[in-house]
C-alpha cells in the first residue's frame, strides 16, 4: 500500500512537470539557480556538489563544486507546486554562466534558438575588434519574444591557442575620461551556445549569446568584452542603439 501511494505521488509530480537541464559548476565561484516556485526539497547525487537554499528567497538555490574534476552527477529539486527538476552537473573551471533561470516557459526555446543561430549566415557588419591575431565580430542580431540573440564570430589567425578567462556583457557610460568614474551595469546572459572559451590556432568558431531584450540609454553603450587568460589579447566590441534596433525577428528568418 505504501509503495502504491508513493507511485501515485510520483505520477502526480510527473504530470505536473518534469524538467532535466545541464550546467557546469566550479569551486571558486557560486552558481545561482532560480526556480519559478519555492523549493521544498533538494537531493544531491554526490557529495562533490554543495547546495544551499536561500532563507529569504525560497525559490533560489546556490550551488558550488566541492572539488575539481568530479564525475558528472545531478541534483533533484522539488518545488512547492509539485514540479520536479533534475539538473545534470559537471565540473567546469570557466562556466559560461553563473546565473540559471530554471523552469521558465522559454528556457528550452532559448537554448534551441541559440543553437540554431550558430549556423545562420552573417547578416551584420561593422561591430568588431582585433587584438594582435585574434578577431571578434558580431555577425548577427536576432530577437524572439523578449530575448535578444547576438551571434559572434571569433577568429585566431596566429599559431598560439587563445584561452578566454572571462566573457562580460555590460552597459557602460560613454564619453568618459580617465578622471571620470565609469558607471557599469553587468548583464547576465540567459544562455550561451557555441564556443567562447578556446579558439584553436588558425581557426574560426562561433557563439550565440542570449540576453533579455533591452535598449541602450542615451548616455551608455553596450559592450562585449573577452579577456585572455594569462595574456593581453583582450577584446571589446561596442554596440549602439542604432545597431540593436536592426535586430531581425527570428521567426521571420528563413535559411
DSSP per residue, 18-37? EEEEEEEE-SSS-EEEE-SS
d(Cα 85, Cα 36) in Å, to the nearest integer? 11
The pLDDT-based confidence of 242 (bands split at 50, 70, 90) is: confident
Q: How far is CA 91 from the centre of its chain?
A: 16
Number of Cβ atoms within 10 Å of the Cβ of 5:
9
DSSP per residue, 51-73? EEEETTEEEEEEEEESSTTPPPE
Q: Comparing 108 with 8, which gets the higher pLDDT?
A: 108
User: What is the reported pLDDT for 225?
Assistant: 94
- 152 burial type by CB count under 10 A (0-12 exposed, 13-18 middle, 19+ buried): buried
What phi-psi label fits residue 175: left (phi over 0), alpha (psi between -120 and 50 degrees) or beta? left
d(Cα 221, Cα 44) in Å, to the nearest integer? 42
Q: What angle do CA 187, 189, 193 make, to 5 degrees?
A: 150
Beta 31-34 vs 99-101: how paired, if at all?
Answer: parallel
CATH 2.60.40.1550 positions along the chain are 2-103
Q: What angle do CA 134, 159, 235 make, to 5 degrees?
A: 15
pLDDT tens by residue, 182-239: 577 888 888 899 988 899 999 999 999 998 877 787 778 899 999 999 888 999 999 9
The pLDDT-based confidence of 254 (bands split at 50, 70, 90) is: very low
Considering the domain delimited by 114-252, tell me its CATH architecture. Sandwich (2.60)
Is the overall model pTM greater than 0.85, yes or no? Answer: no
pLDDT tens by residue, 18-32: 445 788 999 989 998
Q: Comparing 245 with 78, which gets the higher pLDDT?
A: 78
User: What is the reported pLDDT for 103?
Assistant: 65
Average pLDDT for 72-88: 89
Highest mean pLDDT, choosing among 104-108, 112-116, 214-218: 112-116
pLDDT tens by residue, 52-69: 998 878 888 999 999 999
* Close Cβ partners of 106 (under 8 Å, ≥ 6 residues apart): 145, 147
d(Cα 146, Cα 213) in Å, to the nearest integer? 5
The whole-chain average pLDDT of the chain stands at 83
Cell 565609469 belongs to 182
d(Cα 3, Cα 16) in Å, to the nearest integer? 20
Cα within 13 Å of Cα(141), Cβ side: 20
User: What is the reported pLDDT for 207?
Assistant: 95
User: What is the reported pLDDT for 189?
Assistant: 87
Q: Comparing 17 with 10, which gets the higher pLDDT?
A: 17
Flag whether pLDDT at 83 surpasses 50.
yes
Flag whether pLDDT at 117 surpasses 50.
yes
User: What is the reported pLDDT for 150?
Assistant: 95
Q: What is the dihedral of CA 227, 179, 186, 161, to 10 degrees?
A: 0
Phi, psi of 104 (to 5 degrees): -75, 150
Flag whether pLDDT at 86 surpasses 50.
yes
d(Cα 204, Cα 206) in Å, to the nearest integer? 7
The pLDDT-based confidence of 251 (bands split at 50, 70, 90) is: low
Flag whether pLDDT at 247 surpasses 70.
yes
Q: What is the CATH number of domain 2-103?
A: 2.60.40.1550
Number of Cβ atoms within 10 Å of the Cβ of 227:
15
Amino acid at each position: 500500500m505504501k509503495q502504491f501511494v508513493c507511485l501515485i505521488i510520483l505520477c502526480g509530480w510527473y504530470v505536473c512537470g518534469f524538467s532535466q537541464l545541464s550546467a557546469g559548476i566550479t569551486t571558486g565561484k557560486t552558481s545561482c539557480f532560480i526556480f519559478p516556485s519555492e523549493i521544498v526539497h533538494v537531493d544531491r547525487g554526490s557529495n562533490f556538489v554543495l547546495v544551499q537554499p536561500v532563507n529569504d528567497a525560497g525559490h533560489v538555490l546556490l550551488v558550488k563544486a566541492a572539488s575539481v574534476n568530479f564525475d558528472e552527477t545531478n541534483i533533484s529539486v522539488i518545488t512547492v507546486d509539485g514540479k520536479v527538476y533534475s539538473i545534470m552537473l559537471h565540473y567546469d573551471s570557466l562556466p559560461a554562466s553563473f546565473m540559471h533561470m530554471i523552469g521558465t516557459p522559454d528556457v528550452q526555446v532559448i537554448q534551441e534558438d541559440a543553437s540554431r543561430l550558430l549556423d545562420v549566415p552573417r547578416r551584420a557588419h561593422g561591430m568588431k575588434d582585433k587584438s594582435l591575431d585574434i578577431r571578434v565580430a558580431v555577425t548577427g542580431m536576432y530577437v524572439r519574444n523578449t530575448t535578444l540573440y547576438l551571434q559572434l564570430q571569433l577568429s585566431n589567425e596566429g599559431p598560439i591557442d587563445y584561452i578566454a578567462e572571462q566573457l562580460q556583457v555590460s552597459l557602460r557610460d560613454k564619453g568618459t575620461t580617465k578622471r571620470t568614474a565609469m558607471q557599469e551595469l553587468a548583464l547576465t546572459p540567459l544562455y550561451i551556445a557555441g564556443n567562447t572559451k578556446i579558439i584553436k590556432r588558425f581557426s574560426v568558431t562561433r557563439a550565440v549569446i542570449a540576453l533579455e531584450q533591452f535598449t541602450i540609454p542615451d548616455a551608455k553603450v553596450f559592450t562585449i568584452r573577452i579577456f585572455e587568460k594569462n595574456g593581453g589579447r583582450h577584446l571589446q566590441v561596442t554596440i549602439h542603439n542604432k545597431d540593436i534596433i536592426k535586430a531581425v525577428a527570428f521567426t521571420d528568418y528563413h535559411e
